[in-house]
A and B are shown apart, each in its own frame.
Chain A
Amino acid sequence: MKLFIEVEKCCGFGECIALAPDLFRMGEDNRARLIGAGTVDQADEERARTAAFACPAEAIGVEE
């Protein structure tokens, strides 16, 4: 599973970072970034989906 962020959609709410601080971080521009390349270990998939689903701006996508 792979995550991606459409950074221009991100409004910096930080939902994803609150839910999965090991997968997302806040960029210098106060928009979220992926930590690493966005590839998610199987054990973290449910948390990753939850974080993506929680984004108010719907800026996070999941490739299964």
Chain B
Amino acid sequence: MTGVLIVGGSIAGVRTAEGLRRLSYEGGITILEAGPDLPYDRPALSKQLLAAGESAESVMLRSQADLDKAGIELRRGCRAVGLDVEARTVRLADGALIDYSDLVIATGSAPRKLPAAHGVHYLRTLRDALDLRDAIEGPVRVVVVGAGFIGSEVAAAATARSASVTVVEPYAFPLGRVLGDLVGKRLARLHESKGVQLILGRSVREVGADGAGGRRVVLDDGTTLDCDVVVVGIGATPRTGWLAGSGLDVADGVGCDEFCHASAPHVFAAGDVARWPNALFAEVMRIEHWTNAVEQAGVVAWNIVHPDKPRAYAPVPYVWSDQYGSRLQIVGRPRADDEVRIVLDDPADGSLVALYVRDRRLAGAFALNAPSQTLQLRRALAARAPLDEIMATIGVEY
């Protein structure tokens, strides 16, 4: 085959394929997807499907007809197990070899597993979401392990569906490891105001049966929590196992240059699996968020079609999360050890804006129910605007 081969049929893979067509790429485009489904929208799993109870159809990204019309061949249930960058072939589980002119690695990430945990839910695939939705129907007791984005969104969705929810988080506050204690405390209040019990500063030793048909969660201090459903959201790891022996740098995802080009000719990476130097922040990044997958896919498509004038990928990272009817937004690269400046805190509508300052520059921002300020900060980060200028326009420090 001559054409672009894309491994992974989630948003990064699909958007790369569509981006190629948008740039008038006329060669063949094949997507290999290990799972059984047509492409679906992953943020919608925890947001619309779980929280709002929408149908599985509502989260589908593209129909077979859409793909046919775009001239994109999607091969479902087709797992790549090896890569030969010299011969330019990808090996499938059944031993078949597929060659490529350009390869895009978009295999995403897999949920990190909790050791010694049996009968627990994870949330990554459409099937995971449908299983979990069935499990949290009615007045069940749910224990969520991890108060990151997935854990917090699941806690909010289960609460909305009348489950009683306990969240266990090893850090002192939800998202505190990234956002620090000031914002973390505020997020703890958001959970607790909706009746969610937070157990902070504790980790899970094991999960087993409670002897009565439910699950028993044992914490590191010996506390036991009996419940009906356990959901684990403790991060993800890039899916690069199939690249072992390829010679590519896969230390933490697929190592790329600023053009998303991996360490072999005609090999690119996009989405959760890609690690690359972001010149705007002078930092090597690997980002597991939807917007990054979309933006990076666009750059990869461009760089495949225009190898003579490649574009560097230097975005302002952006992620949003919907919890308990509030919208959380993070732009840039906030860190817990940054200086945090609260520039908006309005108890009336629950809005909050926190700036993260490092080396006298804006490094990132967190916003709760403040979309217009988020936009403004995103632009300021893209322009590397001076901090005093940002402070003067965003509001008064107090």
Taking the closest CB of chain A, its distance from the CB of B12, in whole angstroms, is: 14
Query: Would you call B281 an interface residue if the criterion is a C-beta within 8 Å of the partner chain's C-beta atoms?
Result: no
The listed residue (B19, B291, B372, B382) touching A56 by CB distance below 8 A is: B291
A: residues with CB less than 8 A from B are 12-15, 17-18, 21, 26, 30, 49-50, 53-54, 56
Sample (5) of A-B pairs whose CB atoms are under 8 Å apart = A14-B375, A15-B291, A26-B371, A53-B18, A53-B22
Complex: A54 Cα to B378 Cα, angstroms: 15
1/0 contact string of B160-190 vs chain A (CB within 8 Å)? 0000000000000000000000000000000
Q: Which residues of B contact A30 (CB under 8 A)?
A: 371-372
Q: Is the CB of A18 within 8 A of B378?
A: yes
Q: Is the CB of B375 within 8 A of A17?
A: yes
Q: Is the CB of A26 within 8 A of B375?
A: yes
- A-B pairs with lowest CB-CB distance, top 4: A14-B375, A30-B371, A12-B371, A26-B372
Q: How many of chain B's residues have a CB under 8 angstroms from any CB in A?
A: 19
B: residues with CB less than 8 A from A are 18-19, 22, 43, 290-291, 294-295, 298, 316, 320, 327, 371-372, 374-375, 378-379, 382
Q: Is the CB of B375 within 8 A of A50?
A: no
The listed residue (A14, A21, A50, A53) touching B374 by CB distance below 8 A is: A14
Complex: A50 Cα to B299 Cα, angstroms: 11
Residue of B nearest to A26 (CB): B372
- A56 and B375 in contact, given A13-B320, A50-B298 (Cβ under 8 angstroms): no
Q: Is the CB of B371 within 8 A of A54?
A: no
Q: Is the CB of B382 within 8 A of A18?
A: yes
Taking the closest CB of chain B, its distance from the CB of A14, in whole angstroms, is: 4
Q: Is the CB of B371 within 8 A of A18?
A: no
Q: Which residues of A contact B374 (CB under 8 A)?
A: 14
Q: Which residues of A contact B290 (CB under 8 A)?
A: 56
Complex: A13 Cα to B266 Cα, angstroms: 33
Taking the closest CB of chain A, its distance from the CB of B47, in whole angstroms, is: 9
Q: Is the CB of B379 within 8 A of A54?
A: no
- A21 and B379 in contact, given A13-B320, A49-B22, A53-B22 (Cβ under 8 angstroms): yes
Q: Is the CB of B294 within 8 A of A18?
A: no
Q: Is the CB of A54 within 8 A of B372?
A: no
Residue of A nearest to B379 (CB): A18
Interface centre among A14, A26, A49, A50 (most CB of B within 10 A): A14
